[in-house]
A and B are shown apart, each in its own frame.
Chain A
Amino acid sequence: MKQQQELVYTDLVKAHMLMGLIDLLLVMIFGLTYSLTFLNIHIVDPYMSPVRLRFNHTNVAAYGFLANCITGALYWAVPRMTGHPVWNRAYGWLLWAALQVAGIGTVISLLFFGGTMLGGPELSRWIGPQSVEWSETPFIMDVPITLWLFVVIPQFLVPIIKASKEKPLYTGLWYITAGLVWTPMVYVLGNYPSVFFYPGAAGAALNGTFIHDLVGLYVTPMGWGLMYYFVPRVLQKPIWSHGLGLLGFWGLAFFYPAQGVHHYLWSPIPMFAQYAAVFATIAIEIVVTTVLVNFMMTLRGSYGAMKEDMALRWFYVGMINYWITCFQCSIQVLLTTQKVIHFTDWVTGHAHLIMFGTFGFWLLGMYEHIVPRMYGLKYTYSRPLSEMAFWFMLIGTEVMFVDLGVAGIAEGFAWIAQVPFIDSVNLGKPFWWVRTASGIFIFTGYIAYFYNILKTMAVGRAYQASTKVATA
């Protein structure tokens, strides 16, 4: 116990987690409010364009929720995987503060700057939202975020290097090592060349590469790297196959960076890049399956744990969602399928299942595991609340996925049939009602989750105080 407290600095985990969970709350509020636009309930449009809410929905998810929660989980997992503490704790607090400033700055500038808002079109290039999907963060915020991503490397790489000198690195640390160096490069690629140098089709190629790399080279390696720590830890047994782990990692590393253009299939981007993207995307589905087989075989014989341990349930449901999304991806990336589903709601459903249904679930599961253990407890405050959160968010996410998928197919065929565009919009309206309803489901579940975590922390503090008194 004492050794663990020296190794892991739980205050940083807590700080990152709390900001990440608050950001997720914001993300859901932005998303729900924006979804009302589709039902012709316009709340913000006298003051600002509602799309600014969507900017925030996606950007706060990436640079608020995911960045915070992943970093917090790294502060917990990396010292335990390597056996060495992170580089510097004071530096960690500086990084934490910088990330929050960048996050708040992003929200404010995405809501109130550029375009018809403060600064006008003249200053929009510097302080207004950019047209880089999933990184609409304005230029003034891009620079600090880029710097942050570079300076965060030593914090986690130093313990990894130390561990590497002692013995071969563990599989989870391969993902984290690669993810640490990929992320800043991805961010630079997405936010500068296509914004300032390359117009039109060339810029779109870079931009597509960025959109996909942010998923594939930041969130995915960090997510899997942490899974390689948490799943064996919860199950109390090693991963099934080291060989499959090798295959999974190197396959991901090789194929993931080469598939960005699949976001712009049938576009004016040269066809060889589109074919390469399609090939790499289908290849990665095979790689993903090997990783999934590895984790499912690890679970074999311990199915009962799924019933007992909430965290494990989040992990494995997330993994199944991950496989569904990747399988779907290998189908939807075909040029034939693209004729129907490109530009439609299908893609929105796909994105929600991977970003929330997988990585969101994993992170929520991780904190379900971490938070009680930070205080020496074994369970969260309330099991019924945990169950409620799990089922509400699961049902909400799956309903949204199926609903938007069906809506996408309907819209796609309506466009091929060349009906007036407004008819395809009217076709989508019932589906958008269901989408908002599923969003409310997710939101309700998340409120239960957040309350449960806060309560667990309160109980944990009381428990720590009582044990301190007892030992003293």
Chain B
Amino acid sequence: MASGGRAIHERWAFIFFLAGIGFFVTGTFIQGVLPIIVLGGTSKMKTKDQVVAEGFYKRQFPEVIQLLAMYPNLWKKYYNVPDQYFYTAPPAVQKQIIKGVAQAISDGRWIYMAEGCWQCHSQFVRPVSNEPAYYGHVSVPSEYDNTLFLPHLFGTERKGPDLIREAGKKGVEWHLAHFVNPQYTVPGSIMPRFAKFVDLKDGKPVLTPANPNDAYASLNPEPTKYGLAVITYLEWLGSWYRPRFFDEWRKEVQEEQQNPQAMQAAMTSTTPSSNSSNSNANSSNSSNTSSSNSSNTKSSTPASSGASK
């Protein structure tokens, strides 16, 4: 111990380079670099426009199309999206719609990040703990490989439900009411209000309503730019991965193309049994439980909820 020369492991350079740099690089290689290599690096990463275009062409965006139809003025004003139905529009207009929607999703995502939504809502479904039955399909690495998951938003805590399979579960009007005061739609919710997402015009939200429906009935909310972006983002999340729901919807579209009148008739006949948007507050508990199941039933397909507007 007397001579510094002998005990090499007790000299600064040995510790600095082996423990400091060497072990750090080893650990990071196992925990960071190898996963990156296995997942294919950034070679297959898609841009947001590519992702949105793919979604439109695969007909994965019924809710986004509903949003475009609900607020054409706002889309025109904020994202320069022309008021045309995507699938019958000329290619140049389609490109414009894709660009606007991609921008809205991206904006919504940055708001979701900056306002800390991801601290309480995770974005991956684990293959355990009955999560596939509750939320939807188990998350796979490939679905995250685009710039709309850069940086990732997996989250490490759930104070609210997971959101990666959110598309189509709730509906635009549900989200609006929920942002005015989460207790309108989910009594007992601890989520904060997000007043900046909703334009209440002259109405004022009631803080703790005795009857949520009454309190909300006097309001006539419309999304602000931020609200529109966030709702678009939420309705986009998971729109690419709902196989059973998507197949059923595509079958309906095909039937509609073949025989529009019969389809209309079928839709109106199913309306009474469906949960329309204004009864969402009462049935929020039950719709939460069976969120993945209810997406299979005809009543909550976007085609019918869109038609009710």
- In the bound complex, do residue A200 and residue B152 qualify as a contact, i.e. CB atoms below 8 Å apart? yes
Question: What is the CA–CA distance of A38 and B190 in the complex, to the nearest angstrom?
Answer: 6
B28 touches A257 (CB 8 A): yes
**Which residue of chain A has its CB nearest to the CB of B227?**
A116
Verify if A458 is at the interface (C-beta below 8 Å from B). no
User: In the complex, are the beta carbons of A121 and B226 less than 8 A apart?
Assistant: yes
Residue contact A209 to B145, C-beta cutoff 8 Å: no
The reply to whether the CB of B120 lies closer than 8 angstroms to some CB of chain A is yes
**Which of A246-254, A318-326, A394-402 makes up part of the contact surface?**
A246-254
Question: Could you mark each residue 119-161 of chain B with 1 if its beta carbon is under 8 Å from any beta carbon of chain A, else 0?
Answer: 1101010111111011000011101111111111111111111
Counting contact residues on chain A (CB < 8 A from B), the size range is: 35 or more
Any B CB within 8 A of the CB of A167: yes
Count residues on chain B whose CB falls below 8 Å from chain A CBs.
93
Asked if A128 contacts B113 (CB within 8 A), the reply is: yes
Q: In the complex, are the beta carbons of B115 and A189 less than 8 A apart?
A: no
Is A328 in contact with chain B by the CB < 8 A criterion?
Answer: no
* Cross-chain contact A45 with B193 (CB below 8 angstroms): yes
Q: Are A426 and B188 in contact (CB under 8 A)?
A: yes
CB pair A273 B35 closer than 8 Å: yes
How far apart sit A226 and B25, CA to CA, in the bound complex (Å)? 25
Any B CB within 8 A of the CB of A169: yes
B11 on the interface (CB 8 Å rule)? yes
A66 beta carbon closer than 8 Å to chain B: no
Q: Which residues from chain A contact B26 at a C-beta distance below 8 Å? A: 254, 257-258
Q: Which residues of B contact A113 (CB under 8 A)?
A: 114
Near B by CB (< 8 A), chain A positions 376-407 give none
Report whether B110 and A200 are in contact in the complex, using a CB–CB cutoff of 8 Å: no
Query: How far does the alpha carbon of A52 sit from the alpha carbon of B117 in the complex, in Å?
Result: 10
As a 0/1 sequence over residues 59 to 86 of chain B, the CB contacts with chain A under 8 angstroms (1 = contact) are 0000000000000000000000000000
Do A121 and B156 have beta carbons less than 8 Å apart?
no
Most chain B CB within a 10 A radius of its CB, from A55, A182, A257, A259: A257
List A132-190 residues whose CB lies under 8 Å from chain B: 132-133, 136, 157, 160-161, 164-169, 173-174, 177-178, 180-182, 185-186, 189
Measured CA separation A453–B86 after assembly (Å): 68
Q: What residues on B are CB-neighbors of A423 within 8 Å? A: 285
A174-B19, A181-B21, A270-B38 in contact; A199/B111 too (CB < 8 A)?
no
Q: Do A347 and B11 form a contact, CB below 8 Å, given A116-B111, A418-B130, A422-B284?
A: no
- Contact among A42, A268, A420 for B193, CB-based, below 8 A: A42
Q: How far is the CA of A416 from the CA of B129 in the complex (A)?
A: 5
Tell me the complex Cα distance, A50–B38, Å: 38
The residue in chain A whose Cβ has the minimal distance to the Cβ of B21 is A181
How far is A391 from B187 in the complex, measured between Cα atoms in Å? 39
| Segment at the interface with B among A231-239, A335-343, A356-364, A436-444 | A335-343
Residues of B within 8 A of A340 (CB): 129
Give the chain A neighbours of B110 by CB distance below 8 A: 114-115, 121-122, 124-125, 128
By a beta-carbon cutoff of 8 Å, the part of chain A in contact with chain B is 37-40, 42, 45-46, 49-52, 54-55, 113-117, 121-122, 124-125, 128-133, 136, 157, 160-161, 164-169, 173-174, 177-178, 180-182, 185-186, 189, 193-209, 211, 213, 217, 246, 249-250, 253-254, 256-261, 263-264, 266-270, 272-273, 276-277, 280, 338-340, 342-344, 347-348, 412, 415-423, 425-426, 429
- Closest 3 CB pairs between A and B? A200-B144, A257-B27, A51-B116
Please give 11 more A-B residue pairs, beta carbons under 8 A apart, in addition to A114-B114, A121-B111.
Answer: A46-B195, A49-B115, A116-B196, A121-B114, A131-B151, A131-B152, A195-B150, A200-B150, A205-B35, A209-B32, A258-B30
Show 12 residue pairs from A and B whose CB-CB distance is below 8 angstroms, ordered by the A residue. A42-B192, A116-B196, A121-B107, A121-B111, A121-B226, A121-B229, A181-B24, A185-B21, A198-B41, A203-B152, A254-B19, A339-B129
